Structure 1
Amino acid sequence: MGTLTVGFLGAGQIGEPMVERLLAAGHRVRLYARRPEVRGRLSAAGAQPVDEAADVAASDVVVSCLYSDAQMLDVLPEIVEAMDARTVLVSHTTGLPGTLDRLDTYAAGGRAAIVDASFSGTPDAVRAGRLVVYLGGDPGHLAPARQVVGAYARPVLTTGGRGSALHVKLLNNLLFAAISQLTLRTLEAGRVLGVEDSALLEALAAGSGGSTAGRYITARGGAEPFTATVTPYLRKDVAACRAVAAEAGADLTTLLAAAHDGPMRLGDPSTTRTERFDEDHR
């Protein structure tokens, strides 16, 4: 495949550098963005702004980088309804696989060409072309999805059928939440023992107790700013894990308990086996 026309919505902290990388790779980008300053910056970079979200449907591939299931169900139905049968929707949202199934009801053929493309990384990783992306979908839909996300991601890992990438991402984030809580508890213990956070984090990074969580805490400038930054995202993802586990009958009790036991307030661990996701996110 050569240059593609890519519809894009969700040009936030992660999405905006994605668009920049897509343009740098030579793709044509039809952009829906509500904030005038974002439209201005990306138009100057070469993106074509559109007036309505549904206008991005006239593309080879549509990339959705929305925050939550609620946003997906608010914005994407009209796009799926307007998409040509050959257009592939690449969804970067970390949420519930059932949300993708709900979008099928708006597709002309009864099943939309959707690839779930959960990712792991930061805006800086996007700018460097080093975002980690997991792809789940029908084999015929994966090639155009891989071509598009390859503009800002390496590696791009295929996880199986549609929904599998979301399962991988949710488990990844659940484990990250647990390790983050343990690392924050370790820093608390270090303070009691008279060890400065910075000294302990440096030692952990060089030793066997180091982790991505420890590196992120250091990069964010300490435990407090790290906690403030990641808690809203992890709370959402841990809630999704609870819902997926309850629906599938998977026992994630130990991992969920570890994710809840720490300074970050990620929800009520007593509901880990039965709680369903918030009504706004179904």
Structure 2
Amino acid sequence: MTVGFVGAGRIGEPMVERLLAAGHQVHVYARRADVLERLVAAGAKPVDEVRELATCDVVVSCLYSDAQVLEVLPAIVAELDGLLISHTTGRPGTLQRLGHAAIVEAPFSGTADAVRAGRLTVYLAGEPEQVATARWIISSYAGPVVATGGRGTAMRVKLINNLLLAAITQATLRGLAAGRAMGIDESVLLEALAVSSGGSTAARQMDARGGSENYLAAITPFLRKDLVACRDAAAEVGVDLSDLLAAAYDGPMNLGV
């Protein structure tokens, strides 16, 4: 099966590497020459224009935002007969605007290291047969894979996940501040939280990244855009998330409003 790939960034590049290692023929569009050079050396076939990916059986997209999805993907879906798998986290209605029948939502939770280890958590939503194909394709870098239902559900699951992550991060940062005030070094408290009942994924990632500062630099831009998408998605269906949003926004991590 030929797999087209667009969005070969920090997460996307190791995805391509894993797809190649699994034996897929991968055609890749990348704007950065250094990334393209590395992936071609690994066995990927480069394309000069993004619309050329439409000749592939499946196209995997790992773009950053809704704006990039609407900028880049229309040129592909205009000629695509196969399946589009979109890893972008954004508003649930964005992919609908592309007007392509065979799209699987595939937002994920995890890091580039998780991709390299084949342990990226991915949520899949779409028609059952299309989800089955997507599951097979992404199995080279994903596991566990959670099927959430019809299109729109995977995005809502991911947005709620990130809403909770933001709220838990804010609570963890307050805990670290309390520890410092009580004479406990941040690194010591994070080491303890990483293996204790008061810990969380946020605390474990802070510990793994060498402290809260490095963690916040990596995660804040993603949470900032995803919280806006979550707020908009909830408003569209008339759900009140004000308490959770207040917990996510109110704290040492500056996510804006």
Q: TM-score range by the shorter chain?
A: over 0.9
Q: Which residue of 1 aligns with 2:251?
A: 262
Distance 2:40 2:66 in 1: 28
Q: Assess if the C-alpha contact under 8 Å between 1:239 and 1:267 holds in 2.
A: no
**3-state DSSP class of the match of 2:165?**
helix
Q: Assess if the C-alpha contact under 8 Å between 2:194 and 2:207 holds in 1.
A: no
Distance 2:89 2:118 in 1: 20
Distance 1:14 1:178 in 2: 24
Q: Which residue of 2 aligns with 1:5?
A: 2
AA of the residue aligned to 1:128 = A
Q: Which residue of 2 aligns with 1:277?
A: none
Per-residue Cα deviation, 1:190-242 (whole angstroms, up to 9, x for no partner): 11111111111122223210111001111121111211211111000111111
AA of the residue aligned to 1:199 = V
Is 1:15 the counterpart of 2:21 in the alignment?
no
**Matching of residues 38-117 of structure 1 within 5 Å:** 38-84=35-81, 87-104=82-99, 107=100, 112-117=101-106
Q: Which residue of 2 aligns with 1:153?
A: 142
Per-residue Cα deviation, 1:81-107 (whole angstroms, up to 9, x for no partner): 1101xx110000000111111111xx4
AA of the residue aligned to 1:252 = L
Q: What CA RMSD, in Å, does the superposition of the two structures yield over aligned residues?
A: 0.9
Distance 2:25 2:85 in 1: 16
Cα shift at 1:78: 1.1
Q: Which residue of 2 aligns with 1:176?
A: 165
Distance 2:88 2:225 in 1: 11
AA of the residue aligned to 1:256 = L
Which runs of 5 or more structure 2 residues have no equivalent in the other structure?
Answer: none
Distance 1:169 1:159 in 2: 10
AA of the residue aligned to 1:71 = Q
Give TM-score, length-normalised by structure 2: 0.98
Distance 2:94 2:226 in 1: 14
Cα shift at 1:158: 0.4
Is 1:236 the counterpart of 2:233 in the alignment?
no
AA of the residue aligned to 2:155 = L
AA of the residue aligned to 1:195 = I
Q: Assess if the C-alpha contact under 8 Å between 1:5 and 1:30 holds in 2.
A: yes
Q: 1:186 aligns with which of 160, 163, 175?
A: 175
Q: Which runs of 4+ in 1 moved over 6 A?
A: none
Is 1:215 the counterpart of 2:204 in the alignment?
yes
Distance 2:93 2:133 in 1: 23
Give % identity: 66
AA of the residue aligned to 1:13 = R
**3-state DSSP class of the match of 2:199?**
coil
Distance 2:45 2:194 in 1: 44
Give TM-score, length-normalised by structure 1: 0.89
Distance 2:195 2:140 in 1: 33
Task: Tell me how many residue pairs correspond in the alignment.
Answer: 257
Q: Which residue of 2 aligns with 1:130?
A: 119
Distance 2:85 2:195 in 1: 38
Cα shift at 1:261: 1.4
Distance 1:145 1:130 in 2: 16
Cα shift at 1:114: 0.4
**3-state DSSP class of the match of 2:194?**
helix
Cα shift at 1:124: 0.5
